[in-house]
Structure 1
């Protein structure tokens, strides 16, 4: 009798619990860069052997080499207000060309749901959201122009910055 009562008590106590929640919503977004042909700005252009390294970005990231891709996603550091990336075009050849992009932003923590918790969204600064510079070597910058499509980085479903090369 005691065993049945104990089992009944356990069953009743677990019946009040909810199922495990699964997070199906967006979490903290990454910055989406899309590459375009500078001679024909309407055309998307794939990058060739693009190596991306982050300075001060989540433990100095050393990302893979992107090849034959027109869109990449870069993480921003939610504990800082800026991050600098080195983008090296043709990184596997002797004609490698390195440019730097520094992203300056503010952060805001947003509650998503009980399952997902909180996420950080970013807002690129209006006056210096993206600062472009060239490597110390006397090469010509491969990034010829860039445009900020949206300062609000709230999801990865849209392009945030277009880069023309």
Structure 2
């Protein structure tokens, strides 16, 4: 009977160690990538610049979602819509009482299976941008036209 209790206790301890799995959580960065936006000056040199402050809001289909303010920013990663919509509207402000620019990002999406824990991730191809409301953003410059990872800049905002 003494050995039987020891065997049952050993089985319970073994079950606790075997419950976790690497596929439970998508933690290796294989999720849907975000769009990288950088900033340039309106001067003819077109050099990348750092903004004093920037507020970003995104319309994910149920109204604007404020992504917050950042100070001394040279680029920003912005998540796009993951539903079947062919575009995402993004709003930019440089001051709390200032005007807000609206930029529409159009794309085609494709779902790629990653793993049982992560499921599928979206890739965005054929990115194009349109400046709907031009103040404070003066114009746009396209970067890489597909989002595979977050390394390359996809859009430049010219202030």
* Alignment TM-score, normalising by the size of structure 2: 0.77
Which residue in the other structure is 2:146 paired with?
A: 152
On the 8 A contact 1:49/1:67 being kept in 2, the answer is: yes
Displacement after TM superposition at 1:92 (Å): 2.4
The structure in which a higher percent of residues are strand is 2
Which residue does 1:87 correspond to in 2? 92
What's the RMSD between the two structures over aligned residues? Answer: 2.8
Where does 1:66-77 land on structure 2 (aligned, <5 Å)?
A: 66-77=70-81
Show the counterpart of 2:129. 130
CA distance in 1, matches of 2:122, 2:87: 14
Change (3 A) 1:111 1:8: same
Equivalent residue runs for 1:5-154 within 5 Å: 5-7=7-9, 17=18, 20-21=21-22, 23-56=27-60, 60-79=64-83, 80-89=85-94, 91-93=95-97, 96-125=98-127, 129-134=128-133, 141-154=135-148
- Report how far residue 114 of structure 1 moved: 4.2
User: Which stretches in structure 1 are left out of the alignment for 5+ residues?
Assistant: 135-139
In structure 2, the CA distance between the partners of 1:14 and 1:50, relative to structure 1 (3 Å rule), is: closer
Show structure 2 runs of 5+ residues with no match.
none
In structure 1, what is the Cα distance between the partners aligned to 2:62 and 2:34? 12
Judged with a 3 Å threshold, the aligned counterparts in structure 2 of structure 1 residues 112 and 59 are, in CA distance, closer, same or farther, namely farther
- Deviation readout 1:42-97 (Å, 9 max, x if unpaired): 422122332222223575211212322110111111112211112123x224xx13
Query: What SS class does the counterpart of residue 137 from structure 2 fall into?
Result: coil
Preserved contact between residue 54 and residue 73 of structure 2 (Cα < 8 Å): no
Secondary structure, counterpart of 2:5 in structure 1: helix
Q: TM-score scaled by structure 1?
A: 0.75
Q: Aligned to 1:61, what secondary structure does the other structure show?
A: strand
